[in-house]
Amino acid sequence: MNSQDMENFGKRIKIAREKLDLTQVEIAKKADMTVNYYAMIERGEVNPSYEKIKSIAKVLKLKITIS
């Protein structure tokens, strides 16, 4: 992902998380990652692996689509 893609992904998962009324701590724990790393993903600062993306999507009940 390029930096714009990372930023867009982060914004989308933040919106999904807030719709489920979950905290970053809750998502990170359920997705088996640190809160700091999850927060960096939401801010678009890191390029998460596909496995991390799948973990987050599962917790947030999202489908992964590749375009």
In a domain, 25, yes or no: yes
| Environment class of 24 (CB within 10 Å of its CB; exposed 0-12, middle 13-18, buried 19+) | middle
Domain that holds residue 12: 3-60
How many domains does the structure of the chain reveal?
1
Question: Per-residue pLDDT tens for 8-63?
Answer: 999 999 999 999 999 999 999 999 999 999 999 999 999 999 999 999 999 999 99
Residue 1 has pLDDT above 90, yes or no: no
CA 29 vs. chain centroid, Å, equals 12
In a domain, 67, yes or no: no
- Say how far apart CA 42 and CA 51 lie, in whole Å: 16
CATH number at residue 16: 1.10.260.40
> pLDDT band at residue 66, thresholds of 50, 70 and 90?
confident
- Say how far apart CA 13 and CA 3 lie, in whole Å: 16
Model pLDDT, residue 65: 84
- Say how far apart CA 48 and CA 45 lie, in whole Å: 9
